[in-house]
A and B are shown apart, each in its own frame.
Chain A
């Protein structure tokens, strides 16, 4: 079995590009066409588990056509033989809640009618477990955080970091002073 045959990779790349374009323009016809029309097709979204082509189609139909734009940070396409492919990508999306960092995995199979996604999984990277900043900063203010709370606190801090990152992209002039003015 040949792995990553350039011609197969080129086909999968075209499939990916068509799917991505349909996704950000909410072209549901193309999106539906891209999935295997079978009760066995499966899509795990960020907030929903969809089993079967009918559920996937219903979800797309109900989904509001907003805020679908995303920036792909990294794309990995693999092929195994001439009819099995995996597309992995990492993306960023700017929302009212700050920046979202997400991952998507698609399993593609070539059927008689062409390449179709048989299984897909999308998730958001919310809670990195690295608590080194939290622990160092807490130590500086004499705060000991119970290990039982640490994961939740770190998740909240990471949420705040996402918000701060979004806020601080704003080109604020150096001449702008802080809002509270101390009156002696």
Chain B
């Protein structure tokens, strides 16, 4: 490695830093330069933490200079969605309602885990207010532009996280996913992502949206980088009540086994909307590469989506009730009415939805007796235009903002792990395919993603639109 650049992956950077070929400070300065060069066009970052980043990088270099191992992510720049606690900074979660919040006493667990592995936090990333959206059109902090086409959205709610990786600013970012907020922007921005099993990664210090459904996840431009990050992020955390007590399962050592021995099928019916031609084509290309033509049906996916919607509205509304009472006018007009409506959702709807979740989970467990991995589109279409209000699904024009999660909500509803892989076709924007696994089988999904990447079926080349403006 000569000089660190946007192409460099986490493994490459870490190896070069640890071997003394480059310093973590130089890598960090280069990342900060890329952010300042492209973020004017993209608006990924709500804050750049120059001082902390250079100080953390210097600490990595100091450890190396005295022969200590700074960790497997030594000097790797990363950034985190604006809902993760960062020590000394108020956590805004894309709002202005929290402007008076006290500075966070310590880093959120996922930020701390990457930091402990030697990674260097360079900034905070834009999102839909309180994570209630699929487009990152934030009325307070502006829209995050898609780095492949600046007239389009990056997806959301972790839009800044996806766009920063797609543009090659940093190799790894953290996001969160309640109904699709990692998978939708990964699809729109043409990059890889992991939304792990519910409870697999600690959420301590992440500002929650819907506790029943919230997951922490991450983005990268290669499967290897996803695996490196995953192996650092796992581990029990008694401070997160939903975090699993299972021991970590390292994914990177077995990555090269690929899809060998795994039973793979395509999700049919609901997930094969005849109107979603590019999405279906992407799933077909992935299925072909994996040599499967088997189709399985999810039972009642539309109701699963509806149940997720109601739990989201109700828990989200209740979470913000105090602020909705006192300062509803300061909420983003894009989220305000849904949060307000959510505060008064009848208990009968939510109780039914939570009971339906048990029924649905049991049926899906049966499904995973027959298969290991299920393929489905991540979004009904590629990135929509900024301000676009409707998309066509099932032959009907439906609101874009609410319906981007058509194919993601029935999956996260019961916490299944998903790796999203980016599929390209000539002259078109990328679109994501979900590799869906049984609970706690993230490592298998990463193996399948690695095989697809090795075969050239999926890839995440750096988006050029923001750089072309220069």
Interface of A toward B, CB cutoff 8 Å: 46-47, 63-68, 95-98, 133-134, 137-138, 141-146, 149, 152-157, 160, 163-164, 166-168, 170, 172-173, 176-180
Additional A-B contacts beyond A160-B309, A178-B351 (5; CB < 8 A): A46-B396, A67-B394, A143-B340, A167-B307, A167-B353
3 interchain residue pairs of minimum CB distance: A137-B344, A152-B337, A179-B357
Verify if B295 is at the interface (C-beta below 8 Å from A). no
Bound complex: CA A137 to CA B342 (Å): 11
Bound complex: CA A47 to CA B399 (Å): 11
Nearest Cβ on chain A to B305's Cβ, whole angstroms: 7
For B321, the chain A residues whose CB sits under 8 A away are 141, 143
0/1 interface trace, chain B 120-131, chain A, CB 8 Å (1 if under): 000000000000
Verify if B428 is at the interface (C-beta below 8 Å from A). no
For B274, the chain A residues whose CB sits under 8 A away are 64-66
For B305, the chain A residues whose CB sits under 8 A away are 96
Verify if B310 is at the interface (C-beta below 8 Å from A). yes
Name the residue of chain A whose CB is nearest to the CB of B395: A64
Can you spell out 13 A-B residue pairs with CB atoms less than 8 angstroms apart?
A: A134-B344, A137-B346, A149-B340, A155-B337, A156-B338, A160-B309, A160-B313, A160-B341, A160-B345, A164-B352, A170-B300, A172-B352, A177-B355
For A176, the chain B residues whose CB sits under 8 A away are 355-356, 358-359
Bound complex: CA A155 to CA B399 (Å): 13
**Of B270, B324, B353, B398, the contact of A143 (CB 8 Å cutoff):** B324
Name the residue of chain A whose CB is nearest to the CB of B307: A167
0/1 interface trace, chain B 328-352, chain A, CB 8 Å (1 if under): 1100000011101111111011011
Q: Please tell me if the beta carbons of B358 and A179 are within 8 angstroms of each other in the complex.
A: yes
Q: Please tell me if the beta carbons of B310 and A160 are within 8 angstroms of each other in the complex.
A: yes
Which residue, A95, A138, A164, A173, has most C-beta atoms of chain B within 10 A? A164
Q: Please tell me if the beta carbons of B396 and A172 are within 8 angstroms of each other in the complex.
A: no
Q: Please tell me if the beta carbons of B344 and A180 are within 8 angstroms of each other in the complex.
A: no
For A134, the chain B residues whose CB sits under 8 A away are 341, 344
For B394, the chain A residues whose CB sits under 8 A away are 64, 66-67, 95-96
Bound complex: CA A177 to CA B351 (Å): 9
Bound complex: CA A108 to CA B386 (Å): 41
Nearest Cβ on chain B to A69's Cβ, whole angstroms: 11
For B212, the chain A residues whose CB sits under 8 A away are 179-180
Nearest Cβ on chain B to A149's Cβ, whole angstroms: 6
Verify if B3 is at the interface (C-beta below 8 Å from A). no
Q: Please tell me if the beta carbons of B396 and A179 are within 8 angstroms of each other in the complex.
A: no
Nearest Cβ on chain A to B331's Cβ, whole angstroms: 9
Verify if B263 is at the interface (C-beta below 8 Å from A). no
Which residue, B313, B344, B349, B361, has most C-beta atoms of chain A within 10 A? B344
Nearest Cβ on chain B to A152's Cβ, whole angstroms: 4
Name the residue of chain A whose CB is nearest to the CB of B403: A97
Nearest Cβ on chain A to B199's Cβ, whole angstroms: 12
